[in-house]
Amino acid sequence: MKLSSLQPAKGSVKANDRVGRGHGSGGGGTAKRGHKGAKSRSGYSQKRGFEGGQMPLQRRVPKFGFKNINRVEYKAINLDTIQALFDKTGAKSIDLGFLYNNGLTSKSDLVKILGRGELTAAVELKANAFSATAIAAIEKAGGSATVDATFNPSGTANATPVVAEEVVAEAKPKKAKKAAEGNE
């Protein structure tokens, strides 16, 4: 075998039909488009989902539900995660920038603090929203909950950042403990 003798497999390469070349080309005077109708005209393009005039699928399937265009989507962070973050870093003040630096949120997230778990540390929290149970638990522990929408990328605490997986893993040990207790 030589480079000069290489050729494609027999039957794998087919010449394109040269349409619009008259009767002798085999495509006829209509250039293989048939007679009349939308597909024979220039500029024709089929709309997505068009089924030839038949009622299209997207119109014959029943619709249900409601999508609220004004919905505000929050990133939920629970008190047990805050407690685990405090245990790792010792930060007395936690805001959006601090949560971002520790890998718990992204820059564009709106953060809502929820009340799952226990908080024993007196922490000053700043977030976009708080649940009523979270506010009660934070104030009971001697901390403060402030609604603050500003993002400070430097974060307020001077502690070194911790990887988010470690914080979340420490925040949710309850199920594993219960399973271990059940096996004994």
Per-residue pLDDT, averaged over 12-26, amounts to: 91
The answer to whether residue 10 sits within a structural domain is no
The answer to whether residue 30 sits within a structural domain is no
Flag whether pLDDT at 145 surpasses 90.
yes
The answer to whether residue 116 sits within a structural domain is yes
Packing angle, helices 79-89 and 132-140, rounded to 10: 40
Cβ pair 59, 97 in contact under 8 A:
no
Give the DSSP letter string of 119-160: --S--EEEESEE-HHHHHHHHHTT-EEEE-----TT-S--SP
- Residues β-bridged to residue 94: 125
Higher-confidence position of 150 and 136: 136
Flag whether pLDDT at 148 surpasses 80.
yes
Look at the chain and report how many structural domains it folds into: 1
pLDDT-derived band at 153 (thresholds 50, 70, 90) equals confident
pLDDT-derived band at 118 (thresholds 50, 70, 90) equals very high
pLDDT-derived band at 167 (thresholds 50, 70, 90) equals low
- Token pair, residue 31, equals 């250039």
Beta strands in 10-128 (DSSP E): 75-78, 93-94, 111-114, 124-127
Using CA atoms, how far apart are residues 82 and 126, in angstroms rounded to an integer?
A: 12
The answer to whether residue 36 sits within a structural domain is no
The answer to whether residue 29 sits within a structural domain is no
Flag whether pLDDT at 131 surpasses 60.
yes
- The 3-state DSSP class for residue 39 equals helix
Per-residue pLDDT, averaged over 2-22, amounts to: 92
For residue 149, what pLDDT is reported? 79
Flag whether pLDDT at 150 surpasses 90.
no
pTM passes above 0.75: no
Using CA atoms, how far apart are residues 181 and 184, in angstroms rounded to an integer?
A: 5
For residue 45, what pLDDT is reported? 93
Parent domain of 140: 75-183
Flag whether pLDDT at 16 surpasses 60.
yes
CATH of the domain at 84: 3.100.10.10
Give the range among 29-33, 104-108, 146-150 with minimum mean pLDDT.
Answer: 146-150
Per-residue pLDDT, averaged over 18-38, amounts to: 91
The answer to whether residue 70 sits within a structural domain is no
- Token pair, residue 5, equals 């003798």
Flag whether pLDDT at 177 surpasses 90.
no
Per-residue pLDDT, averaged over 9-36, amounts to: 91
Per-residue pLDDT, averaged over 111-133, amounts to: 94
